[in-house]
Structure 1
Amino acid sequence: MKNKKVLGSIALVASAALALTACGNNKNNSSSNNAVKDKFPKAVPTKTAKNGGTLRYAIETDTPFKGIFEPTLLTDAIDDTVSQFGSESLFHQDNSYNIDNKGAATFDLNTKAKTITIRIKKGVRWSDGKPVVAKDVEYPYEIIASPKSGSSRYTDSLQDIVGLKEFHDGKAKTISGIEMPKGENGDTVVLHFKQMHPGMNMIGSGYFWKEASPYHYLKDIPMNKLESSDQVRKKPLFFGPYKIDKIVRGQSITWSPNKYYYKGKPHISKITESVISSNSSAQAIKSHKFDVIDVVNSQWQQVKGTKGYNYVANTPLSYSYLGFKVGKWDSKKSTNVMNKNAKMNNKSLRQAIAYAMNVDQAYQKYTQGLTFRVPTLVPKAFGKYSDTDIKGYSYNLKKANQLLDKAGYKKKGTYRVQPNGKPLTIYLAAVSGTSTQESIVQNYIQQWKKIGLNVKLTTGRLIEFNSFHDKVQNDAPNIDMFMAAWSLAGEPSQNNLYGKNAPFNFTRFVTDRNTQLINDMDGKKALNDNYRKKVLWEWQKYMFDQAYVVPLTNSYSITAVNSKLTGYTTATDAPSNMWQQVAFTK
């Protein structure tokens, strides 16, 4: 189970093979498609555990991992996966994504007082033996709010903590709304809010941070050097079940038990993580090279008969999407600025592009339906908040052509021109990956050609993951649209993904209507659940109509687990760090 830290609900991933992260704690692997229960179990069989053994874990990526091990600075799902053996949230969730008190800290929300009180449990220690204290809970907010740190986590949602904006703007040296009543070395932190919001009791809420950072270990590092420091890159501390022994940068990590782990010593003696290309996944499974390895859906038919593994799966709380660049991020004002004259700022053009995509047919062909089209930006896993009346952009070339004709995109030869008569070339950014990824992207380019649109790949080819992330995040000029994905946290607020001041709003669209709907879904009136549902449905209809972001797919996430292992589960309410219970069997 991947332990994604997503503040509110984010994770930039690489389309077709879901892979970029961002917010809260995303142990929210939810079975939103009931068929997954019939195809695969959620957990391996329970057997008698023994201590010892070396577990080999595959990191499937076609590029070296960055190796950023500080949650406030981490932005992609690969690093998040890499750090899962040691990294742990302060909180645990139940099977409805609500925070309970089974984690490293307890949680007490007081709506009347506008506070959240966090108490660290006795015995919770960093892997160097130092206790996790109140300052470790407070310090992440300083990192996030410091303009010098480079953190992408500062959002409108967090600004509801009293004094955080003043600290961010340099008007205060401390964050007045974060109280440590027993001192910096105590066990208690009280967060004071300007206003309370629905969903603040849920693990995916973006209104407060769910991780701790080792202040004693990081305090002497200047904020502008934190991300590149050895303490973050080479010798990070964790309070989870395992600690890092060795890092071969971008390629492999060796872990051993954290003897200070508050829930007791884990079973396995050694864990080795190694990078493997997604194209090599099937062969690695058939040769039993790893004890735990994700299955590439397009390779399922090749590996499904391989013995010696239990195959577990779920439908993650995530989706891939096509985003259209219509503006820029203003770092000085920490806001998205939309350009009304942007090439892609034409609703008919965006809708036509979406209708021309044969998503159902492509994924049926390449994954036998293990990856499937999703119609709306609020997945079914969110239950009543997901508007099932929205059918999405199903394949319809006739409608796509009609939209373009009516909007004035006339054909001149093979391709259409802009309404002003100028040539139209659209540059698409997509991540490199399996051969299937390349085939699917090229398929879409051919589909767009059928409606007269000249679509070319940014840089002329699919882009390596880290470079893709940098280009999309920094609004590279040669990207008109891009294929990526979100790994979501367990709370349906859209503020951290699509808000006016959300750094992760990579399309940079900003409209008064969108801002109003987001404010309404998170406002005081939305404490009434029926009202919140109504607003979320309105927002989904609005986003479907505007098509700044078009949802594409979700997938079964299948993992091959050595049949000699027990304790591995994909359940929503699994332990705060599942790896504490994973063991080889007697």
Structure 2
Amino acid sequence: MKITMRAALLASAVAFASPALAAGTGPNGEPLADDQTFTYRVLDEHSSVDPQIVEDVSGSEIVRDLFEGLYNQDADGNLVPGVALSHELSEDRMTYTFKLRPEAKWSDGTPVTAGDFVYGWQRLADPETASPYQWFVSVMNLKNAEAITAGEMGVEELGVKAIDDHTLEVTLESPMTYFPLTTTHASTFPSPKWVIDEHGADWTKPENIVVNGAYILTEHVPQERSVRERNEMYWDNEGTIIDKVTALVINDENVALTRYLAGELDRTEVPAGQYPSLKEQYPDQALSFPRLCNYYFNFNLSDMGPEATQDVRVRQALSLAVNRDIIVENVLQGGQFPAYTFTPAATANFEVPEIEYANWTQAERDARAKELLAEAGYGPDNPLELTYLYNTSEAHKKIAIAVSQMWKQTLGVNVTLENQEWKTFLETRGNHDFEIARGAWCGDYNEASTFLDLVQTESGYNDAAYSNAEVDQLLKEAKAMDDPQPNYTRVEEILSEEMPVIPIYHYAGVYMMVPEISGSWPVQNVEQNWYSKDLYKVAE
């Protein structure tokens, strides 16, 4: 006997489809603008548009338009049907059976089948793919995932199989209540094997790519722009309004703002420190809302890291000396939140634990920081010298300068600042070729493990190279718990004691956005998984 699971997503739509739109009106009867294009700014060139290779936020935004997974999200972050219409869960809570919509097609007219998901997930797990997100199959708790990623078992043993073209069966290692949430992540999207076989690494070029999402890639000029346009083969093309989406690479936040104000962009990020004045000048265009992201500093705890920061007292001192209130209130000024835990308070079903130093005054933190650094043997006669690495951005630079000045004034630490272009930065940090490096993470799903798994020993994004057996065990146990909060609380307590990373702040989405489109933007979704197919411009 199986338990039918509709999740929050399927309460009102077993066979979801967007309502047919009356000519010239939006989903709620709004008059639509004649121009249904959306142009927005990104800081850097995206890492990839290959679902199993992409690793950054801007790339994932594109991939969510080009490909569609089992489930999508609505404007509030709830799951809604994508290729899957529903799923059933076995009594032992270990097997999920997804029913796929028969009308789903690839852009070349080929039907989307369960086998396309099997191929994509096996490709993700395969060590030969060398996916930066290979570890996600373990995060999903798929059967045999760890053995496969370790090269000890073939990909055909992964807990996913096609029962028939429209039935996908997924088997887990153990029950995990939030498993369906992981299926909105780009790495779980299907891939067209016949196209990859023919074109290899070039399969994602506009002239070769075959997709199953609402849009198809029509142009890509590296370091300049990426363009996607309506995919007429998409199952809900009739319910899609935006015709064309362009992402422009603009490395300077202030240049981007100037171009936005000149009418060249529909959305851009607000430069650090400018939100209050822009909100006053443009109250209907400046937006700020909580996001499911954290900003932190990694210590390099690998064998390649500096000797000084192997000492927990040094790490604690550096963390305590960061005045987070100054960062969010004076430097950023966009509604961000000072962070004393790794996991943001905006995370669903997560209770922020009491962290002792979070309740101290900054004067108390500074005093304790000085004591700790002196105990570690550093002071005027033996000053600590470190290098901080960040990816090029005016906001990151301002934060780096502010924190380095705090460390200098409070502790006498001399900090050299180094910035790198995004892809170079990712490679340098991933190779542990740094002393302290910027880190940031936006949740892959709305559950605390999406953050805390980053400090698990084998995590693909454990850039600090941190390893703690108790943390690993707590996180492993949490996957099968109905209430994992006690485990998450303990992990956060350990992190605050051992300080492998310094939490700096938790994000807000701080945008300038034209009023014509802001009404359809999913501001209530803290994950900020947005889909161009759900956007539309209203008439002025």
After superposition, the Cα gap between the structure-2 partners of 1:397 and 1:376, relative to the gap in structure 1 and judged at 3 Å, is same
- Answering whether residue 155 of structure 2 is matched by residue 180 of structure 1, we say no
Q: 2:253, 2:269 within 8 Å by CA — same for their partners in 1?
A: no
- The residue type paired with residue 485 of structure 1 is A
- 1:441, 1:365 → 2: CA distance? 14
- Answering whether residue 116 of structure 2 is matched by residue 136 of structure 1, we say yes
- C-alpha distance after superposition, 1:254-293 (max 9, x if no partner): 2221111212332233333222231213322322221232
Larger RCO, structures 1/2 (Cα 8 Å, 6+ apart): 1
- 1:440, 1:577 → 2: CA distance? 27
- 2:190, 2:495 → 1: CA distance? 35
* Aligned match of 1:480: 435
Q: 2:387, 2:418 within 8 Å by CA — same for their partners in 1?
A: no
Deviation, 1:557, is 0.8
- The residue type paired with residue 58 of structure 1 is Y
Q: TM-score, normalised to structure 2's length?
A: 0.83
After superposition, the Cα gap between the structure-2 partners of 1:550 and 1:102, relative to the gap in structure 1 and judged at 3 Å, is same
- Answering whether residue 535 of structure 2 is matched by residue 559 of structure 1, we say no
- Answering whether residue 386 of structure 2 is matched by residue 426 of structure 1, we say yes
- Answering whether residue 458 of structure 2 is matched by residue 498 of structure 1, we say no
- 2:294, 2:234 → 1: CA distance? 34
- Answering whether residue 539 of structure 2 is matched by residue 583 of structure 1, we say no
Q: How does 1:428-443 map to 2 (within 5 A)?
A: 428-434=388-394, 436-443=395-402
Deviation, 1:519, is 1.8
Q: 2:350, 2:447 within 8 Å by CA — same for their partners in 1?
A: no
Q: Which of 273, 280, 290 in structure 2 is aligned with 1:315? A: 290
- Answering whether residue 405 of structure 2 is matched by residue 446 of structure 1, we say yes
- C-alpha distance after superposition, 1:322-359 (max 9, x if no partner): 1111016xxxxxxxxx98x9442211100100111122
After superposition, the Cα gap between the structure-2 partners of 1:300 and 1:46, relative to the gap in structure 1 and judged at 3 Å, is farther
Percent identity between the two aligned chains: 17
* Aligned match of 2:169: 190
- C-alpha distance after superposition, 1:1-55 (max 9, x if no partner): xxxxxxxxxxxxxxxxxxxxxxxxxxxxxxxxxxxxxxxxxxx996624375252
- 1:390, 1:575 → 2: CA distance? 28
Q: TM-score, normalised to structure 1's length?
A: 0.77
- C-alpha distance after superposition, 1:397-428 (max 9, x if no partner): 2111011122333431xx53xxxxxxx43221
User: Mean Cα displacement is larger for which, 349-358 or 44-53?
Assistant: 44-53
Q: 1:431, 1:463 within 8 Å by CA — same for their partners in 2?
A: yes
- 1:384, 1:149 → 2: CA distance? 35
Q: 2:95, 2:169 within 8 Å by CA — same for their partners in 1?
A: yes
Structure 2 gap ranges (5+): 1-25
- 1:125, 1:69 → 2: CA distance? 19
- Answering whether residue 37 of structure 2 is matched by residue 55 of structure 1, we say yes
- 1:113, 1:452 → 2: CA distance? 53
- 2:453, 2:476 → 1: CA distance? 12
* Aligned match of 1:240: 213
After superposition, the Cα gap between the structure-2 partners of 1:353 and 1:166, relative to the gap in structure 1 and judged at 3 Å, is closer
User: Mean Cα displacement is larger for which, 124-133 or 308-317?
Assistant: 308-317
* Aligned match of 2:333: 368
- 2:442, 2:465 → 1: CA distance? 19
* Aligned match of 1:287: 262
User: Mean Cα displacement is larger for which, 92-101 or 371-380?
Assistant: 92-101
* Aligned match of 1:199: 178
* Aligned match of 2:7: none
- Answering whether residue 70 of structure 2 is matched by residue 90 of structure 1, we say yes
Deviation, 1:79, is 1.8
- C-alpha distance after superposition, 1:358-386 (max 9, x if no partner): 22113312233523312211221235523
- Answering whether residue 525 of structure 2 is matched by residue 572 of structure 1, we say yes
* Aligned match of 2:21: none
- 1:573, 1:404 → 2: CA distance? 38
Q: How does 1:222-241 map to 2 (within 5 A)?
A: 226=200, 228-231=201-204, 235-241=208-214
* Aligned match of 1:421: none
- 1:269, 1:52 → 2: CA distance? 11
Count of residues in correspondence between the two structures:
503
